[in-house]
């Protein structure tokens, strides 16, 4: 007879006991029949009656747990999808904002480059105009300076020529005056010379006795 240590047996254990009961039963010679203990078979059937509702109940619980797990998985999947959609929307929004910022930044850079180019062009044009004006002014100053120098040299040349003519005229006048003075002196010498020679002889005659 089978001994049960616990009434909480499973269908697998019951079927194992039934298989062991059949395999260990005595066979009737010359037949395919066996002899089993009625009490052992009754115990197995009692265990089977008790175990089947438990297994069905366990199966229902497993099915319910499976449904709960499935529902939970569906809810979690839906939440994950919703979260993924929200994150994707956030990423797309951030990407759009970043793209717009980059476009604005690129536009600002482009405008800054255009402004810098315009400023550089204006500065270059202004520099060229200033340089051209400075060159023209320098050329004009140089021309005016050369003209002034030429005028001054011409004036000095004319002044020197006038001065030379005046010097020559003064020299001629001086020479004329010198000649006139020489003539006057010569004429005076001619008139004065005979009067000075007459008293010279008596003086010489008077001096001889003094020497003696």
Q: Which residue has the tokens 């499935």?
A: 70
Residue 57, pLDDT score? 66
Q: How far apart are the first and last CA of the chain?
A: 223
Q: Residue 44 has what pLDDT?
A: 85
Q: What is the pTM of this model?
A: 0.31
Give which of 46, 38, 36, 39 is closest to 14, Cα–Cα: 46
- Alpha-carbon distance 124 to 24, whole Å? 116
Give domain limits for the chain: 11-95
Q: For strands 34-35 and 26-27, give the pairing.
A: antiparallel
| pLDDT computed for residue 6 by the predictor | 47
Residue range 138-177, pLDDT digits in tens: 888 888 888 888 887 887 788 777 777 777 877 787 888 8
Residue with tokens 């298989």: 19
Number of H helices, E strands in the chain: 3, 2
Residue ranges of the chain with pLDDT lower than 50? Answer: 1-2, 4-7, 203-205, 207-208, 210-212
């Amino acid at each position: 007879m089978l001994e049960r240590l616990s009434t909480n047996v499973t269908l697998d254990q019951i079927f194992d006991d039934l298989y062991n009961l059949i395999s260990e039963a005595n066979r009737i010679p010359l037949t395919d029949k066996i002899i089993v203990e009625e009490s052992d078979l009754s115990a197995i059937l009692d265990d089977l009656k008790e175990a089947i509702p438990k297994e069905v109940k366990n199966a229902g619980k497993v099915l319910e747990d499976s449904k709960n797990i499935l529902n939970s998985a569906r809810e979690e999947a839906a939440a994950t999808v919703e979260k993924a959609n929200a994150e994707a929307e956030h990423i797309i929004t951030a990407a759009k904002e970043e793209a717009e910022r980059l476009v604005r930044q690129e536009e600002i850079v482009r405008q800054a480059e255009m402004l810098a180019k315009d400023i550089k062009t204006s500065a270059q044009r202004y520099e060229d105009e200033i340089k051209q004006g400075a060159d023209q002014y320098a050329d004009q100053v140089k021309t005016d300076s050369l003209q002034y120098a030429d005028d001054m040299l011409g004036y000095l040349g004319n002044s020197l020529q006038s001065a030379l003519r005046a010097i020559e005229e003064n020299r001629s006048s001086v020479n004329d005056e010198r000649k006139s003075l020489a003539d006057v002196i010569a004429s005076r010498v001619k008139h004065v010379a005979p009067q000075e020679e007459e008293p010279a002889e008596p003086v010489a005659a008077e001096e001889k006795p003094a020497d003696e």
